[in-house]
Structure 1
Amino acid sequence: MLTLNGMPAYVARPAGPGPFPGVVIAHLIFGIDAEARYCADRLAGAGFVAIVPDLYHRTAPGLELPRTPEGRQQGLALMRTLTRDGVTADVAACMTWLHEEALVTPRVGMLGISLGGHVAFVAASRLPLSATAALFPGWLTGTQIPLSTPTPTVALAPDLHGRLLFLVGEHDHVVPAADVRDVADALAAARVPHEIIVYPGEGHGFFPQVPPQPADSASSADSDRPDGPTQPRSEPGHSEGGARPRTEPVRLGSAAPSTEPTDGYGDGPTWTEPSRLDGGATSGKARRDGSAAGHGSAAGHESAVGHAAAAEDESATEHECVAEDETAAEDAWRRILELFEKELRA
């Protein structure tokens, strides 16, 4: 582990002399665990210098929590010790290290997952990030946690830097449909370049889905890890476990947001095939105006992400539906890497 002014950080580097683009990764409530390291290693395998700061270093440095009820409760308690100023300072320290020590190319991106997605949203509003991928970031629209005070974090949308990719599951109880609509409205109103993807059938925590690790694997990425580097995984689009049954897109509900923070890992991820939900009127796509035809209607398979953007809004983008043999996690990886390739290597 690297140490930046007392803050532990996990680093994964591509093989070769570089220079390479840099990406800061904000971890989930469990600290720098196997999933956080996997994300860094996979980005390194794709040609990015990745660094994961220990967001808990002020209160519990080096802590890696288990995926148990006790671990979740401890993580939720530690989450309440985080402040906007603190996480901004942590990300800024990583960006400085990337530029001064890792000698990365000028543009830096950020990947944040769950709690880390909230951290990434805050950081992108305060720091010159060129691209940010926020996966199922909870508590953006309320004031339930210190990070979302004094005003809801979604109110920072006008200050966001760079392009934002927002990925969430249809049945995410931490980021319900009402929250997704509020975030989409705020991004559209602020004309933030963005893309919102809602995965039908998925709950909270569908990403990154770490595949089994062969005991004798070796990596081409140089990871600053005590027990050595991990094996770079396949490029997005390659199925680790085979295709799963595809489900039709359904109308995104409007469940009320939770009043108390939870992380959503108690139920585990739901394995269903994703569909593209960020544009178009029919053919498996969502309406940008927030309306939706009913499930199984004559208009075709449609789903709503709320007001992702007006149809003519150039700040949001539109693509075809995802490949039929991709899982939600694989599709998410493909989109994340496409974002960073386009925005960080330019």
Structure 2
Amino acid sequence: MHDDDIKSLMPKLDMTRRGFVSAAVLATGYAMAVSPAAADAIVTDTKGLKAGAVMIPSGADSIPAYAAMPEGKGPFPTILVVQEIFGVHEYIRDVCRRLAKLGYLAVAPELYVRQGDPSKITDIPTILSNIVTKVADEQVMADLDATAVWAAKNKGDPKRLGITGFCWGGRIVWLYAAHNPKLKAGVAWYGRLAGDSTVMTPDHPLSLAAKLKAPVLGLYGGADQGIPFETVEKMREAVKAGKMPVEIVVYPDAPHAFHADYRPSYREGPAKDGWARLVKWLKGNSL
């Protein structure tokens, strides 16, 4: 990626030391907790794209993000890409490039930046205890709203806004679909649907099922050890009380993170089928 391409995406930077440290979160590779990545992990090039790290104003802060879009004037339909627990590492950046190849402005904000850098932690339990449990849903919703505003000022079409997310980010997709009335559609990949109500996470998708403001496609694995199948079935029933179209697809033999092509959990069949459904869902909802 040429420097000019990155600069063309970048608003006024936070030039403090914190700003430089934050931008470094997006610097290289895969998160340490999931390294080394599979040798055949999907790699999407930047030919025909503008892609790179940006800083997004959000409240009193500036948060780092990765953005990718087609070359050209736009405006482009915008997809917010929500990270797994590992942050905006190479897999999430590649998803942004895949979406940009389809004609979208795809942007993935680093939603843990105030709490820490998960990419440098070597084990999942520590990421969960030291970072994830300290991230408030309210903060996440505000950062996603700020990202949508940034996108609208940087060749994104504010009338065509979508969201997709994986694992931790899959849960956030459901929450954001209940939060933002301007959202056109969401695609949630194996996001947790139920849990304890806490100060940080007062609501969960099941409790918000009837309040969705946008259509959501949910993609789940029948062999997911972390998401009880009974909660998926409860979600199927709960969304019937709402007004928005919802489709939930379960791949019977797929484990959690079946789309994560850099991990042993990857399952090519469900991953490709899920991606095809994502594309159809977005297009079918004016994105």
- Residues of 2 paired with 1:59 and 1:71: CA distance? 16
Secondary structure in 2 aligned to 1:88? helix
| Residue 126 in structure 1 maps to residue 68 in structure 2 | no
The structure that has the greater radius of gyration is: 1
Q: Which residue identity lines up with residue 119 of structure 2 in the other structure?
A: E
Deviation at 1:29, TM superposition (A): 0.3
- Residues of 2 paired with 1:122 and 1:147: CA distance? 13
Deviation at 1:136, TM superposition (A): 0.4
Matching residue of 2:286: 344
Q: Which residue identity lines up with residue 20 of structure 1 in the other structure?
A: F
- 1:241-268 deviation per Cα after TM superposition (whole angstroms, max 9, x unaligned): xxxxxxxxxxxxxxxxxxxxxxxx7xx4
Matching residue of 2:150: 97
Unaligned runs of 5+ in 2: 1-52
- Residues of 1 paired with 2:207 and 2:194: CA distance? 8
| Residue 109 in structure 1 maps to residue 162 in structure 2 | yes
Q: Which residue identity lines up with residue 135 of structure 1 in the other structure?
A: W
Secondary structure in 2 aligned to 1:7? strand
Q: Which residue identity lines up with residue 270 of structure 2 in the other structure?
A: A
- Residues of 2 paired with 1:65 and 1:204: CA distance? 22
Q: Which residue identity lines up with residue 92 of structure 1 in the other structure?
A: D
| Residue 201 in structure 1 maps to residue 253 in structure 2 | yes
| Residue 135 in structure 1 maps to residue 189 in structure 2 | yes
- Residues of 2 paired with 1:146 and 1:344: CA distance? 36
1:102–1:17 distance in 2 versus 1, CA, 3 Å: closer
> C-alpha root-mean-square deviation of aligned residues, in Å?
2.0
- Residues of 1 paired with 2:247 and 2:178: CA distance? 17
Deviation at 1:85, TM superposition (A): 0.9
- 1:98-132 deviation per Cα after TM superposition (whole angstroms, max 9, x unaligned): 11222425110000100001111111111121100
Unaligned runs of 5+ in 1: 211-264, 272-325
- Residues of 1 paired with 2:239 and 2:255: CA distance? 23
Secondary structure in 1 aligned to 2:155? coil
Q: Which residue identity lines up with residue 129 of structure 1 in the other structure?
A: L
Matches within 5 A, 1:5-20: 5=57, 6-20=62-76
1:147–1:122 distance in 2 versus 1, CA, 3 Å: farther
1:338–1:133 distance in 2 versus 1, CA, 3 Å: same
The structure whose residues are more often helix, as a share, is 2
1:105–1:153 distance in 2 versus 1, CA, 3 Å: closer
1:188–1:110 distance in 2 versus 1, CA, 3 Å: same
1:147–1:121 distance in 2 versus 1, CA, 3 Å: farther
Secondary structure in 2 aligned to 1:121? helix
- Residues of 2 paired with 1:118 and 1:146: CA distance? 17
Contact in 1 for aligned 2:78/2:151 (Cα 8 Å): yes
Secondary structure in 1 aligned to 2:283? helix
Contact in 2 for aligned 1:131/1:343 (Cα 8 Å): yes
Contact in 2 for aligned 1:109/1:344 (Cα 8 Å): no
Q: Which residue identity lines up with residue 158 of structure 1 in the other structure?
A: A
Deviation at 1:21, TM superposition (A): 0.3
State the percentage of identical aligned residues: 28
Give TM-score scaled by structure 2 length.
0.74
- 1:272-320 deviation per Cα after TM superposition (whole angstroms, max 9, x unaligned): xxxxxxxxxxxxxxxxxxxxxxxxxxxxxxxxxxxxxxxxxxxxxxxxx
Choose from 106, 114, 123 the match for 1:71.
123
- Residues of 2 paired with 1:94 and 1:344: CA distance? 20
Matching residue of 1:269: 265
Contact in 2 for aligned 1:87/1:123 (Cα 8 Å): no
Matching residue of 2:54: 2
Give TM-score scaled by structure 1 length.
0.62
- 1:158-178 deviation per Cα after TM superposition (whole angstroms, max 9, x unaligned): 221211000000111111211
Contact in 2 for aligned 1:31/1:65 (Cα 8 Å): no
